[in-house]
Amino acid sequence: MSKPLLALDGVCTNYGKIRILRDVSLTVGEGEVVALLGLNGAGKTTTMRSILGLTPPLAGTVKYAGQNITGWPAYRVARLGVGYVPEGRRMFKDLSTLENLQLAENGRGGAWTIPRVFEHLPKLAELRSRKAGRLSGGEQEMLAIGRALVANPHLLLVDEPSQGLAPLIVEDVYRILGELKQTGVAILIVEQNALLALKIADRAYVLDSGRIVHSGAAAELAADRDRIRTLMGLDVAPTG
Amino acid sequence: MIEHIGPQLFNGLVLGAFYAIVALGLSLIMNLTGTINMAHGSFMTLAGYLAYTMVLRKVPFGWALILAPLIAVLVGIIVERTLVRPLYKREPFYSLLMTFGLSLMAEEAFRLIWGPNGVPFSPPPALAGAASLGFMQFPTFRIFIVVVLLIAIAALALFLTRTRFGLRLRAAVQDTEMIAALGTNTQVLYAVNFSLGIFLAGIAGVLAGGMLGLSPTSGNALLMPAFVTVIIGGMGSLFGSIVGGLLVGIAISMTTLFIPAASEVSMYVLMAIVLLVRPRGLFGEEGIFG
């Protein structure tokens, strides 16, 4: 494995008095795509929030490029080059598509600019003046990804990108994530739809009740549907 | 009676512009952080007194109009960093009580420093007198007030819509967590936003001192109409604050002309009517405190 860009070690995180994450350790290497799987409530989103400093861990460490960033405020983590595509997209609904993208410009420089995002996601260019709140779910997901890209991240945290989207659009979203992988961006992707994420991931972790219960190569896990079924305690829907 | 309608309408607009600018400051602070700043009037009074003291010491009025609000902003930043900030994560009720307490303390402080009675703060000679608006004569200082307030409102609108910082502020009102995850230091946003609100209040405070008089309670006297303005305009809407302010100003000035005894109550009647028709105010949005 390449040297870890992101490393969580023994992370414990609470929401109020309720412990959500118990001793979570995981790594994401440079340019690697890692899937974090698990049922609803397993702690996947909390893991992302712990990395970003939105819900700071109570114990354990989060390291990014060798630097201890545990409990840093989100804006500092973001400025290091961590992009976030949140669950439910979280667009700034009253702002236009273009304004949503402009918000992510940070002067860090890099290959991704707004024109380049428009080039890659031409649909967004057409909708540049439309308010984000009036975009369809799929268009919003594209915008969420585009917004994260404009910041030129080294690591992209993608939370449930398939949620609430039609199958064709999900395919599109994953095609774009696959293209990103080719450009060398490391991606930590959280998904309930395990098989979908395993298709583009190099490695996978499975979370259950806040603990990592499995880690290994993505292809291996994808091939063993019984294993997924046992680990995630649910039927795995076949995907197209 | 009829010949008084024109001047009185203009008076209403001047008054309304005051309410609008105070309400804009209140709305800015409330929209971003959910803080109901009961001490807003105290910052107006503070700026008024500071300008009064400067003018006494021969500082030109124009300079005092800029410097006094800036000093009020400095005080505002200290208050925001030390007293308001720790309450951001709590319910709005906490900051409401805290700022209310602060306004009471400020009032007493003004009494100690500048005395319990009003002080004479008249407009500079260049702005005294009256100017002809063609169809009527009108006090020059009031025309000056309207111009300054309109410039301030236009500058705020440009700042919010044309600058990167303004864009971030508008985004943060919708989702502060996400704006942080995009690399913006929200604590700086909060401080600048609070300062903007106080600066607007400060300008209004200096101008109001010259028009409506200056006493330890003069700022607070404008605060209640400003809250009514925010409610009429609709919480969450800056445009609503402008429209609401003008409506309240005109309502008060017209009732002063026709039914003087009812001038105080007219804004509440207006508020009741607006809320009956539109429970969220004219341009209000949902879930400001969500």
Domains of chain A: 4-232 (3.40.50.300)
For residue B146 the two structure tokens come to 């309207």
Residues of chain B above pLDDT 90, percent: 78
Contact B174 A74 (CB under 8 A): no
**CA-CA-CA-CA torsion sign (B239, B240, B246, B247):** positive
The verdict on a CB contact (< 8 Å) between B180 and A73 is yes
Q: Which of B111, B122, B112, B142 is nearest to B55 (CA)?
A: B122
Residue A1: pLDDT over 80: no
What is the arithmetic mean of pLDDT over B125-129? 86
Scanning every residue of chain B, which has its alpha carbon at the shortest distance from the alpha carbon of A102? B164
Whether residues B170 and A75 touch (CB distance < 8 A) is answered with no
A-to-B residue pairs, Cβ atoms closer than 8 angstroms: 59
Residue among A74, A94, A151 whose CB faces B174 most closely:
A94
Q: Is A73's CB within 8 Å of B170's CB?
A: no
Q: How much is the pLDDT for A166?
A: 87
Q: How many CA atoms lie within 13 A of B222 on its CB side?
A: 39
* Alpha carbon distance A7, A3 (integer Å): 10
CA distance B232 to B248: 9
Chosen from A15, A51, A79, A92 to mutate, greatest number of chain B CBs within 10 A: A92
Contact list in A for residue B171 (CB cut-off 8 A) is 92, 95, 99-100, 103
pLDDT band at B93 (very low <50, low <70, confident <90, very high): very high
DSSP A224: -
pLDDT digit string, tens, across residues B6-22: 888 999 999 999 999 99
Q: For A110-159, what is each residue's pLDDT tens digit?
A: 889 999 999 988 999 999 999 999 999 889 999 999 999 999 999 999 99
The backbone torsions φ and ψ at residue A59, rounded to the nearest 5 degrees and listed phi first, read -145, 165
Partner A contacted by B85 (CB < 8 A):
no
Residue B3 in this model has a pLDDT that exceeds 60? yes
Structure confidence at residue A106 (pLDDT)? 83
A15-24, A105-114, A157-166: which has the minimum mean pLDDT? A105-114
Look over chain B and give the mean of its residue pLDDT values, rounded to a whole number: 92
For residue A230, give how far its alpha carbon lies from the nearest alpha carbon of chain B (Å): 35
Contact A103 B180 (CB under 8 A): no
Question: Looking at residues A152-176, what average pLDDT do you find?
Answer: 91
The answer to whether B182 contacts A151, with C-beta atoms less than 8 Å apart, is yes
What was the pLDDT predicted at B288?
Answer: 46
Do A203 and A216 form a contact (C-beta atoms < 8 A)?
yes
More confident residue, B3 or A167: A167
Interface of B with A in 193-222 (CB under 8 A): none
Q: At what angle do helices B40-56 and B61-79 cross, to 10 degrees?
A: 140
| The CATH number of domain B2-277 is 2.40.160 | no
- The ipTM, to two decimals, is 0.90
**Does B140 touch chain A if contact means CB atoms closer than 8 Å?**
no
Instruction: For strands A211-217 and A203-208, give the pairing.
Output: antiparallel
Q: Which amino acid is at A231?
A: L
DSSP calls for A127-144: TTTSBGGGS-HHHHHHHH
Q: Which of A90, A99, A106 sits opposite B183 (nearest CB)?
A: A106
Q: What share of chain A is helix, strand, coil (3-state, %, to 5)?
A: 35, 30, 35
B190 conformational bin, left if phi > 0, alpha if psi -120 to 50, beta if neither: alpha
pTM of the entire structure?
A: 0.89
For residue A51, the chain B residues in CB contact (below 8 A) are: none
Residues present in chain B in total = 290
Site from B182, B190, B286 to mutate, A interface, most A CB atoms within 10 angstroms: B182
Which of B168, B174, B181 is facing A74, going by the closest CB pair?
B181
Q: What is the distance between the alpha carbons of residues A26 and A188, in angstroms, rounded to a whole number?
A: 10
Cα(first)–Cα(last) distance of chain A, in Å?
Answer: 30
Q: A235 to chain B nearest CA, in Å?
A: 33
The span from the CA of A70 to the CA of A59, in Å, is 9
Q: Which residues of B touch A103 (CB under 8 A)?
A: 167-168, 171, 179, 182, 184
Q: Does B167 touch chain A (CB under 8 A)?
A: yes
In B109-245, DSSP assigns E strands to 130-132, 137-139
Order across the sheet with A82-85: list the strands.
Answer: A82-85, A155-159, A186-191, A33-38, A203-208, A211-217
B193: which residues sit within 8 A by CB, 6+ positions away?
A: B28, B29, B32, B33, B169
